[in-house]
Every structure is written in structure tokens, then in C-alpha cells.
Structure 1
């Protein structure tokens, strides 16, 4: 991959960026906006969210569970757990020990821990969490566990949150009173804020007790759902006003092998009955191995659909097409054995949309959502390539359309935006009358600026485009040194003007990946960064937010000397109107090192006299947001009055600008 080309001569912005200038100013470019004619409708799904469980995005991230390996199902059964007072003594002298019992009685949750307390020397069982546990002073945390106190010898389980010095941050207790498996709960209130807390269990009594599903959640989750999602992360997603939510990936759909593919049916029903599995990003990259990266599937397909509903997004699930990741094994399901994979797709549509009389519709209803999720789209495969993909896609396409003709099917064009695999997929999918083709672009910033006209000459009678994964790479694709710097963000903004300007062809777009834990990431750059306590949006996040929050309903023309604004003087522009708010919306991206003063003539609409200019900018290409400066690059709004049909705007150096103009 080419390294990004750095624009030379970065300078400080002179004067107030983006302020409206007087009519006497000298204009770099004269722009004309024609509000009289709608060129095409902007799809409600134009700007959305791509979610994949990479970078600890689900367990340890969006899914608010704080206990790692809560049911002892990891390949290393005690991973995440410590017994500090146990391992250095002989068994007879040990204070206690945890033995993992494997049972065939439960096909999914196969293991539990048998805790043997030998004496009163202070046996402790400690969970380290996902790179620690974030607790905040005054906040409440709900613990639950299953216990079987067979002989009644264990009188109490003391539950504590502790810091690195073993200082107690919160405490509660449980009295296990049943020889049979029983659920217990307790609430802890933190007396201090700590990003790297741990959960400690200690015991009163001598004898054996069995434990399973040891779980800890903040009480303050999104919509206060028990066992729910992390509130600050969902809020960042909600604020994007996304048109769709694509889930669960990404390469995680495929699996390194078919046995490790994502199987949605294993992710619904009771949480404790969902079968844990290794995460495919566990050992993918030598630069960031994560041997403790597993999937509990507490965030499963029901929760994904529910999240989409919560944030006002159309759900877009992606399913395995019977090909494991071709960058790994490329394992294939023979065509004669593809039926179960196809049936998974048909059953998923029933799960999402079926009424209560259908088997999978009843499963959804029993989980607490009797109303359908209104699924309209489904994806077949992630970024597979070659004839093997096309011949399998044909089978899915025929089966889905035969039973659910109204469902739109997303197909894939492979992992790259050009080359023989891409060209082959495009040609074959057109023959099949494919509806939506997923294209991916991980390129340097210069590529994004130079490919703004990519869709200008696409066949208008061919498939529509889903720009499903894109992100400018500051160093090189898959490099651990990539940063969410300002150059990547405004270069993506320039490219997005080309996506929006071709809204008759481009129906969906999404940045990728979405989330990254600062202590447990595998891939950079990423849209949103978080630790155990905090989160922030990158500069790229605010670019996405500006476009998504200001997409409008109709594309209209903005031109310079009769031509679309696609890089003249390093300026990129697009214009829409919003029929609901009676506004004209103009997006201006200046990728030059100098500010540009622009004259804009509005035709076909009279300005009402008020408007908003939103500016996103930074003086240096390498600037970025961080936990220390989460709003280092952040949108700034300016109100202004405008009359008649002309206005003058200064687009600052390296800036993304959105003008919203009230019109009559």
C-alpha cells in the first residue's frame, strides 16, 4: 500500500475560519447552487454505521459486561481469573482452590468452577476484567452469579471491587442458601473512580461451592436495560443519526475457518445459554495479539436489532455465504451442502419480521419484542471473491427472492476497490441483477482526494453501491501506526462529497472499523476510541456526523463554471435541500493549505435571512483528538444572516464546512 502523501506548507489559519466576508472581497471560486431542481433523492440509509467485534468492540466495549470469562468457557478455563493465595502451597495447606468442572449436561455453557475452601487463610478469587474494570464514584454496579452450595458449608460470599493496591472501592455480600443451582444478586456502590478496578470474591466457611455466570454490569446502561449496553458508546452512535446499522462485521462473519464463522442462531435466546467462541481477531496480527479475546455473544443478533431500533437505524445483518476468510483458510462449503447456510438466512428474516405464529418470530417475541424489527436488507458474505463466491451467491439470491421478494440483498465486490477480483465481481453481479454491491476502500488520504469522481461514470442501470468499509490510512493498510489524524478526516470528507453527489448510485456508506479499546485494539484507525471510563469521537467521527446529520432529502447541483466542484483549487463541494426543514445545505471541503474565499449564488430559491455555518478544522495535518483533548478537532457553529440569492464564505485551510440556509 502507498503511504499517504503529506500536503506541504501547513500553516496557521489566518483570521476567523469560515466567517462570512463582505461582497467587496476577491473570490477564488464562483459557485452556483441550483435549488430549483432535484437531481435525485438522498436515501435515508445514505450514512450509516458499520459494527464489527474487533478492537474489543463488543465484549469489553459496547456490551457493558465487566467480568471477563464469566462462565469459565475460554480455551484456558481460568483465563481472566487469579487465585493469589492458592498457588504457592500444597493442596492440604492451600486456603482454597478453583477446579473447573466440565459437564455434558449443558451443550452451550459447559463449564463451572468448583471452589474448595480448606481453611480460614483468606482464599480469594479475582477477576481482572477487560484490561481492568472502570468504576465511577457514586455509581451502582449490579453483580449476579449462579451458585450451588451443596452441603451448605459456605455461609457467605463477600463481593468487592478493589484497586491495584487492594483498596476496597465497593462491597456487598451474598448468602448462598440452596444446594441446587440458584441465581443470586447484589449491588455495589463505588466510593472512588478507578479505571483498572478488579472484582474480588472471598468466602466464609469451609467446604465446596459451585459457581457459574459471575457477572457485573453498571446499573446505568443504555435505556437502563439489565445486562445492557454501555451508555456513552451508544450515545455516540445515536448522535450520528445513522440510516442503517450493519452487523456483526466484517471478517468476523466469515471466521478463519467455517467452524469459527458467526452463527446467529447461537447468539439468541437466554444469555447464559449462548455458546462462547474464540474471536477471529484473537491472534490475527503479530503486532497486537489478544489471546484473551473471545465472544460471549451477550451482544447477539437480538441485541443488534434492538440497538438499530434504538438509534433509528435500519438493520443490515450480514451472514456467511459458506466461505471462510480467503485471507486465512478460504475453506469452502460444497454447493451440495449449502442448504443449512441458506436456511440460516431465511430463518433470520423470519426472526426479524415473522409474526408470533412462526417458529423464529416466536423466539423474538419470547425475548421481549413481539413487534417485527422491519428488516428490509440482508447481506450475503463479507468480502469474498472469485467464482466460488458468485456461484454461492446465486443460490442465496434465488432462495431469498423466492420466499421474500421484498428483501434487498447486499452482495460483495471483494476486499479491494480495483483489480481483477473486483472487475470480475462487478461484471458477474451485474449479470445477476444484483441490487446492492458492497465496496471497500482502505487507502492513503491522497487516494481519497483523487477518487472523488469514482462514481461519476458508473452504469446507472447497474447495481446500487454500498460503500461498506472505508477509512483513509495515514501510514499503510493494517499498519499499527495509523492515526486518526486530520488529513485522513478531511480527505474522507472530500471523497464523501463524491458519494453524495452520486446519490442516484450510492445508497449506503459507512466508515470502518467503528470502535477501539485504547488498551486492546488490533486495527487502526478507528472512528471512536474508548477506555474503561471514557470515550471520544475522532476527527473522522465528526466528519461522519456532519454529513449524516446534514444529508437533506434531495440532491441539487453546485457547480463552478458549469462543472461539479471536484477538486478545482483543492475545493470539493456538494449541495442538497431538505424538503422537511426548507433548507439548502452546502458542504465545502477545502484541502488546500490556504483559505479560500467563495462566492455562492443561489438559484431557484430565495434565502430567508438566517443560516448556520458549521466549521470543522485544524491547522496541522497530524492533529488528532485524544482522551486528553477529546474536542481538539470539533465542529463550531456560527449563525449568520443572508438576504437575496448571494452570499460570500471563507473556507479555511484544511477545513470541512456545512452551510444550512433557510429558504422561502
Structure 2
């Protein structure tokens, strides 16, 4: 089979084209990238119930905590009165009626320790009727793997807010999985506690779980879209994501229930899911998201609520023109000032006080998530008001619009008609439109030319893409090679049309095993370890070898698609290296001859491969590298420009272009 690659440039590639989309789904933040190891650390969790337009919560402040050891005579109560922070008004009142009584935290699947690693523990406490030592330990089967203790300073009854913060550094004496985080009093008495924390000392920036951070870093992302996703909207406006509440000290960030706590509820389960206690501590808030972008060298792309709760799950909205809606507009301006403003400004000074004097260089802002126009929602009017408000003060900010939740419906067509009409009179009205694709693999194969004929006046953000194979109901197995190959084929078309598709990100990003509401997902993990999926490696191969220019294929790629071969070449103009992404989605190996338009062969210098096995193959904790990138060894004497690809393979070829002939006059 012949692969034609012209040396003529077709389009420029944005350097930040391939990025990440982060949403707190599948315990991606608390219990995931946010390195905090304890669950319900501030005694504020609620139990979530309900269905569309009828959601409610019950307070369950002791969720995740219980007396320990059980045989000891002790009592736990969740009380209010004089808390550490008014935003989180509940705290624990613990009564030990005999010595060596205490309590423990379930910590998701239990505490994981690595031998010799260190862990920073902190908590607030005050004595009501106790004077003695408090021991903090991690135990399993009666064996203490790490411990520390501190003397509880006596309080004064005339000072009811006399909370003191205590710090301990624990060192693990051995590896532990599924351990108990235990707090013990050496004597009888009453003590109040609030805001426990246990963080690995090696957490990146003191915030991010290191193995998950390193997986993100290896993708070399150009941007991060955050914090979602549906949690921006909330299932009710009261549980939407409020970014300003995350710009306070962590103790003062109001705990919130996660809209994914009521995912897949129905009459049969009493509108109460197994994830009903999925809450958000907001320990990883907007400041931390900006730090994450900075640490990864990625551009920030925050997304704002436009006064609409989730259109799938609610009818709640704030009407444009009202004082309440004006606050949503003001939030947009304040966010930009927080990120970019001078250090003596109202919100720039907040950033400085949090520890970051330099601006975060925010250049893009998403207006709404997955919103669409209806007579009631009036999304287009909402977008217009946001655009006018933002560009009146910050004309340089690039705004991202929404095409709705799919790319096949009338609402999608209506959105594009609106944006194309708007930019005819105002070029800066929208930079790119966010499109979402959660479809079967066959759709991706059939639409590799999806953007070939798109108008170029408005750019595209392929904001949430993922192939959803239908061969299994087991969540971890949905991230199979077959789905990844379909995405790779589609991305050859996305990359070929880099002059219109300027941003792209897979979704969702993370999933914690046993705590998963949605699959497939790019990265899987438990409390101990993590692994990348075939889909992760596809994005890595596109992101790390994307080049700066798309080379023309003269339409020849349409012929190879008939034989289930999809390709796109790019060039790094700084080095002259040519990278060609090729997908062989057939069940047979393919011999490919790679030439320019004159028939001269390219020299194959290096080859990176993914696959070469059954499409149902997937990675797991037991076999994390079953489907991973490997480099092909070139055989001596192989014909120039000829390569054989195994079945079900995605490859990136590094090529040396043929030297053009010089005519002598």
C-alpha cells in the first residue's frame, strides 16, 4: 500500500493543541489527584438522594469515622457551636470513658503506606476535660506501621474558640495496604477535633499525588480545562462550583456534595446510589488548578457557570437581567483579575496572599459547559452577555462557546449557525466552540474526515472525546485497544485539520477503581498505584510528537481508509523531523511504502508502536503495560520507505524526507 506525503505544508499546528480535561468524577480530586488520604476530614459530609429537579441531602457528619477499638467504651458525636471555620460548622466531640479509647477513619479503601516514606498529619483539637497525650497511628491487624504523639494543650472554658492546630510527621516502618488511621487518647476525658489531614510528604507542590501527577506530566499537555464538566453547573444551583469559595484557606472552603453522587439513581435503588457520600472538600480549588497548570507547563482554561444548573438534571436557572445574574458576570471578571491582575488589586492581591505574586497568564475562558439553546434556557443570550461584559474590560481573552452535549443533533446545528452568524459582524465574538463526542468506535472511523469541509471562521475545541466500545460491561475493560485505535484514527483527521481544530482533550481523565461512575477513562488508579490505558498512550503519541506543521497528503488518505489504514504526517520545522501517525485498524498486517508526490521514498528512521494484538486487550493493575508504547527495531538492509505494520496497530514513524533534485542549467 502506498502512503503519499508531500513536503508542502497544509496547516500550522497550535503548540498547545493537545491538552487535558479535568473533572471531579470517579473520585478524581478527593481520593485521587488531590493527595489528601483521609475521607470526610472535617465532619461535613452529606448523604445524597434524588432525581431530576428533586435532589436533597441528609447530614452525615460521622461518615467514614467510627470508634476504635470497638471494645473500648467511647462515644462520638458530631456537634456545632464554635467551629474552626464558620463555613464548615460541624466538628467531633469525642468522649473516652476508659483509657486507650479512640476512633479511626476509613480513608476510602484504607490507608496505603510505603516503607520509609513520610506523611504529614495535622488536626485541630481542644480539651474539654482532658489533659494528656494523643497518639496518631496507622495500624493493620493490630500492628502499628507508623505512629506519633503529641501533648494536648489544656484549653480554657472561657475561650470556646481556643482551637489549636497540631502537626506530626509519621514515617512508615513497613508497607501497608488497607490500614486504619487511628486517633487514641491515653486517658479518659472529652476532646473536640476538627479538620484532620494526612498528606504524603512527597506530594507535588504539597498538593498533588505524585504518581498521578507524573502521568500527566508525561503527556506534555498544552492546556488544562477545569474544573469540569457537569460539576460546574451542579444538579442544583446551590451545589454548583463556586470558584471564590476555593480561594480561602482550606479550612474555610465550604464542603459541597458532588453531582456525581446521584449518578445512575433510579426507582429500584430508591434514588440513592452506592456513591451517595461523594462530596467535595475543595482542597483542590482554583488556585491549585492554576498551580497544576503552571507545574505542567499547560495553559489554564477554566469554565464558568452561566446561571444554568445542569440542563439534563434540573430546570433551575437565574434569569438574565437580574441582580443574581449580574453576580455571575462579575465572577467572570473577578476570575480574570485573580489570575492576571496586579498584586495591589482586589483579586490580584488575593492571589498574592495565597503565595503567587506573578500572574497565571490566563488567556482562555469557557462560557458554560455543554449548554444548548432552548426557549427556556436562552443560552445564546447568556453567552452574548458574558461576551460583552468580558471583552469590554478584557478584549484579549479568548472565549470558548458550547455546541451542546453531542455532534449529531439539531441543537448542535443550531449552535454552529449562531456562532457563524455572530462572527460575521464581530470577529472576536468566539475563539472556539467546544464539541463533545462519546460515541462507538465505528463513528470515529467513519468520520476521520469530519473537519475536512468545516468553515474556518470559527475554531473548534474537541473538548471531550472518547470511544465507547460495547463489547463489555466491566468498566476497567472499556479502555481497550480497539477504542484507542478508533480515537487514533479520528485524531489523524483532527490533526490534519489543525487550522480549524485548535484544542483537543480526552474525557474523563481519571477513575479510582471501585469508585467509578463513568467509563472509559484515561488513567486508572487505587490507593496504592496507577496505570495508563491504551487511550492514554494514543494521546501521548499525538501530544509528544505533534510537530509544528501538517504536511499535505493530496487526498490520498481517503484511498487508504478503504483498507482500514488512516494516517497523517507532520513536520517539526525547527528540526526538520517528519512524524507520520498511521493506524492499521484491520486484522491483517499491512506493508506500506512511504513516498513523496514524485514517488521518492522517505527513509524510516524510528518507529514507535502501540498494539499488535486483539482489540479487546486492556491494561490493569496486574498487567499495567500489556498495551504500551514500544519501539520497533529496524532491520539492517530493509528497503527505504517500506514498513510492515502488524494488525490492530497505531504507529508513529519518524522519517527523513527525500532530498529534492537540483536542476543544473
Same fold (TM over 0.5): yes
With normalisation by structure 2, the TM-score equals: 0.89
- 1:455 equivalent to 2:445? Answer no
Distance 1:103 1:569 in 2: 71
The equivalences for 1:58-137 within 5 A come to 58-75=29-46, 76-84=60-68, 95-103=73-81, 106-120=85-99, 122-137=100-115
Q: Encode CA deviations 1:248-300: one digit per residue, 9 max, x unaligned.
A: 01111110011111010011121111111001101212496312211001100
Partner of 2:373: 386
Gaps spanning 5+ residues in structure 1: where? 1-28, 89-93
- 1:340 equivalent to 2:327? Answer yes
Partner of 1:402: 392
Partner of 2:470: 475
Change in 2 beyond 3 A, CA 1:481/1:536: closer
Q: Helix, strand or coil for the counterpart of 1:82?
A: strand
Choose the corresponding residue for 1:235, options 214, 238, 248: 214
Distance 1:567 1:597 in 2: 14
- Residue 594 of structure 2 contacts residue 601 of structure 2 at CA under 8 Å; is this kept in 1? no
Distance 1:34 1:297 in 2: 50
Give the superposition deviation at 1:78: 0.2
Distance 2:601 2:575 in 1: 13
Q: Encode CA deviations 1:277-324: one digit per residue, 9 max, x unaligned.
A: 001101212496312211001100001011011111111001101111
Give the superposition deviation at 1:98: 2.1
Give the superposition deviation at 1:95: 2.4
Give the superposition deviation at 1:182: 1.2
- Residue 557 of structure 2 contacts residue 567 of structure 2 at CA under 8 Å; is this kept in 1? no
Distance 2:629 2:638 in 1: 27
- Residue 473 of structure 1 contacts residue 525 of structure 1 at CA under 8 Å; is this kept in 2? yes
Distance 1:431 1:609 in 2: 47
Distance 2:557 2:538 in 1: 25
Q: Encode CA deviations 1:342-382: one digit per residue, 9 max, x unaligned.
A: 11111101111011021111111111111011111000111
Distance 1:167 1:281 in 2: 36
Q: Helix, strand or coil for the counterpart of 1:432?
A: helix
Distance 1:565 1:515 in 2: 37
Change in 2 beyond 3 A, CA 1:46/1:38: same
Q: Helix, strand or coil for the counterpart of 1:186?
A: strand
Change in 2 beyond 3 A, CA 1:476/1:633: closer
Give the superposition deviation at 1:126: 0.5
Distance 2:9 2:636 in 1: 23
Change in 2 beyond 3 A, CA 1:627/1:123: same
The equivalences for 1:531-546 within 5 A come to 531-546=526-541
Q: Helix, strand or coil for the counterpart of 1:370?
A: coil
Q: Encode CA deviations 1:496-542: one digit per residue, 9 max, x unaligned.
A: 00100111110001110000000211101100000001000001110
Structure of greater relative contact order (alpha carbons < 8 Å, 6+ residues apart): 1
Choose the corresponding residue for 1:202, options 184, 196, 212: 184
Q: Helix, strand or coil for the counterpart of 1:397?
A: helix
- 1:33 equivalent to 2:23? Answer no
Gaps spanning 5+ residues in structure 2: where? 47-59, 156-161, 424-429, 660-665
- Residue 371 of structure 2 contacts residue 404 of structure 2 at CA under 8 Å; is this kept in 1? yes
- 1:619 equivalent to 2:604? Answer no
Change in 2 beyond 3 A, CA 1:490/1:370: same
Q: Helix, strand or coil for the counterpart of 2:62?
A: coil
Distance 2:638 2:515 in 1: 54
- 1:156 equivalent to 2:133? Answer yes
Give the superposition deviation at 1:605: 13
Q: Encode CA deviations 1:114-141: one digit per residue, 9 max, x unaligned.
A: 2222222x42210000222221122111
- 1:185 equivalent to 2:178? Answer no
Partner of 2:159: none
Choose the corresponding residue for 2:517, options 501, 522, 525: 522
Give the superposition deviation at 1:196: 1.3
Distance 2:194 2:599 in 1: 66
Paired positions, count: 621
Q: Helix, strand or coil for the counterpart of 1:188?
A: strand
Q: Helix, strand or coil for the counterpart of 1:558?
A: coil
Change in 2 beyond 3 A, CA 1:532/1:644: closer
- Residue 474 of structure 1 contacts residue 482 of structure 1 at CA under 8 Å; is this kept in 2? no
- Residue 476 of structure 1 contacts residue 482 of structure 1 at CA under 8 Å; is this kept in 2? no
Distance 2:231 2:637 in 1: 53
Distance 2:648 2:32 in 1: 32
Choose the corresponding residue for 1:215, options 179, 184, 197: 197
The equivalences for 1:473-512 within 5 A come to 473-475=468-470, 483-512=478-507
Partner of 2:23: 52
- Residue 452 of structure 1 contacts residue 495 of structure 1 at CA under 8 Å; is this kept in 2? yes
Change in 2 beyond 3 A, CA 1:446/1:54: same
Distance 2:638 2:631 in 1: 22
- Residue 601 of structure 1 contacts residue 645 of structure 1 at CA under 8 Å; is this kept in 2? no
Choose the corresponding residue for 1:268, options 247, 253, 271: 247
Distance 2:13 2:68 in 1: 59
Distance 2:3 2:616 in 1: 30
Distance 2:370 2:5 in 1: 38
Distance 1:552 1:639 in 2: 23
Partner of 2:121: 143
The equivalences for 1:549-628 within 5 A come to 549-559=544-554, 562=556, 564=558, 567-602=561-596, 611-628=605-622
Q: Encode CA deviations 1:373-401: one digit per residue, 9 max, x unaligned.
A: 11110001110111421111111011111
- Residue 131 of structure 2 contacts residue 154 of structure 2 at CA under 8 Å; is this kept in 1? no
Choose the corresponding residue for 2:645, options 648, 651, 656: 651
- 1:548 equivalent to 2:543? Answer yes
Give the superposition deviation at 1:567: 1.3
- 1:466 equivalent to 2:461? Answer yes
Query: After the TM superposition, which of the residue ranges 642-651 and 496-505 deviates more from structure 2?
Result: 642-651
Q: Encode CA deviations 1:153-194: one digit per residue, 9 max, x unaligned.
A: 23011111012x232221111111142211111111222222
